[in-house]
Amino acid sequence: MIDFFIIPVIKLIIIFGVCLTIVAWTTWAERKILGHIQIRLGPMRVGWHGLLQPIADGIKNFFKEDVIPDNADKAVFLIAPAISISVAIILLAVIPFGPPVSLFGKKITLWLSNPSIGILFILGLATLGSYGTILGGWSSGNKYGYMGGLRASAMILSYELSMAFAVISIIMMTGSFSLVDMVTAQHGLWNAVKQPLAFLVFLISGTAELNRTPFDMPEAESELCCGYNVEYSSMKFALFFLAEYTHMFVFASLVTTLFLGGWHGPFLPGIVWFFIKTFAVIFVCIWVRATVPRLRYDKVMKLEWKFLLPAALANVLVTGAVMAMMK
C-alpha cells in the first residue's frame, strides 16, 4: 500500500509543485537575463528585483477577459491549450532528478517512474505536445494562427528526425531505452564528451522543437504577430505560455540526463548537480535567444535537411562502426 500508492502520490505532488514553481520563475529569469543582456534591468517593481512577477502575471492573466472568437472551432479551441500543458507536465514523470536516497529506512527513487522505454515515451509525447500548437493555431479561425500552426507542424516533422537520430546514438552506446540506465552509464565520462556531434544536434533541434528563437517559426512576433496563440487570451494563453516553459524545463533536464551526466558530479548531492546542470542549459537557451536573430523559414528547413539530419545520420553510422570495431 505504502510503496504502491502513498509514496508515488507524495512524489507526484512534490515533483509537480517544485517543477511548476521552477517553470514559473524561469519566466522571471528569462526576462531578467534578457534585460541584463540588453543592458536593462528587467522586472524590478513587484517584490525584490521583481521576484514576485510570476505571481503578478498569474493574477493578471486570471482576471483577463476570456475571448473565444466567433470563427473559432469551439471544442478544439478549448482543448488545444489543455493538450499542450498536460503533455508538457506528463513528461516530468520519467525524468530522473537524482540518485535513489534512503529516507526513514526506505529506499526512495527520485523519479516518478522508470519505464524501460523512457526515452521513447519522451520523444513520442513531446511530439504529441505540438498537437496543442497545431490545433490551437488551426482552430482559432485566424490566418496568422493558421500560418503558425502550419509552420509548427512543418518544424515538428523535420526536427523530430534529427533529434531522434541524435538520441539513437546515445541509446546504442547505453544499450537501453531507460533514462536511469543512461545516467548510470555516464558515471565516468559524460555523453557530451563522447558524442559531441550528437550533443550539438540535439541542442539545436531541441531548441527548434521548443519553438524558441532563433527557431520561433510558429509564433514569430514580427511576422505572424504571435502566430498560433494570437486569438488566445486569459488563462488559455497562460496555459500555452506555461506549456512552453515546462517544455523548456523538460528539454533542459533531458539534455542534462542524456548528455551532461545527469546527477553525477563531485562533492554536492546528486539532485543539486542535476538542477545546476538543468539551469545551465536553460541559461544557454535564454542566452542564445538574446543573441541569434530568427532564421528565415526556408533557412530553418535547409539547416535541418541539409545539415543536421545528415550529420546525425553520419554520427549514428560512425558510432555503430566504432562500437562494432571495439567488440
Partner 1 sequence: MKPNDIINVSRMRPEKGKYVKPILKGLAFTLKNLFSKPVTLQYPTEKTERSDRWRGLHRLNRDEEGNLLCVACGLCAAICPSRAISIIPYEEEGGTRHPEKFVIDELRCIFCGFCQEVCPKGAISLTKVYDYVDYDRRNFIFDIEKLKNPEVFEFKGK
User: Could you tell me the three cell numbers for 13?
Assistant: 505532488
Closer to partner 1 by CB, 21 or 291: give it.
291
CA dist 74 and 72 (Å) reads 5
Contacts to partner 1 by CB under 8 A:
33, 35-41, 44, 287-288, 290-292
Rounded to a whole number of angstroms, the minimum distance from the CB of residue 283 to partner 1 is: 10
In this structure, what are the phi and psi dihedrals at residue 27, rounded to the nearest 5 degrees?
-60, -40
In this structure, what are the phi and psi dihedrals at residue 281, rounded to the nearest 5 degrees?
-65, -40
Closer to partner 1 by CB, 44 or 90: give it.
44
The answer to whether 29 touches 289, Cβ cutoff 8 Å, is: no
Rounded to a whole number of angstroms, the minimum distance from the CB of residue 52 to partner 1 is: 17
Closer to partner 1 by CB, 44 or 76: give it.
44
Closer to partner 1 by CB, 39 or 326: give it.
39
Rounded to a whole number of angstroms, the minimum distance from the CB of residue 292 to partner 1 is: 6
Rounded to a whole number of angstroms, the minimum distance from the CB of residue 39 to partner 1 is: 5
CA nearest neighbour of 300 among 124, 162, 100: 162
User: At a CB cut-off of 8 Å and minimum separation 6, what does 116 contact?
Assistant: 176, 177, 178
In this structure, what are the phi and psi dihedrals at residue 51, rounded to the nearest 5 degrees?
-65, -25
Rounded to a whole number of angstroms, the minimum distance from the CB of residue 217 to partner 1 is: 18
Provide the H-helix boundaries in 140-187. Answer: 143-174, 179-185
User: Is residue 294 helix, strand or coil?
Assistant: coil
Closer to partner 1 by CB, 167 or 286: give it.
286
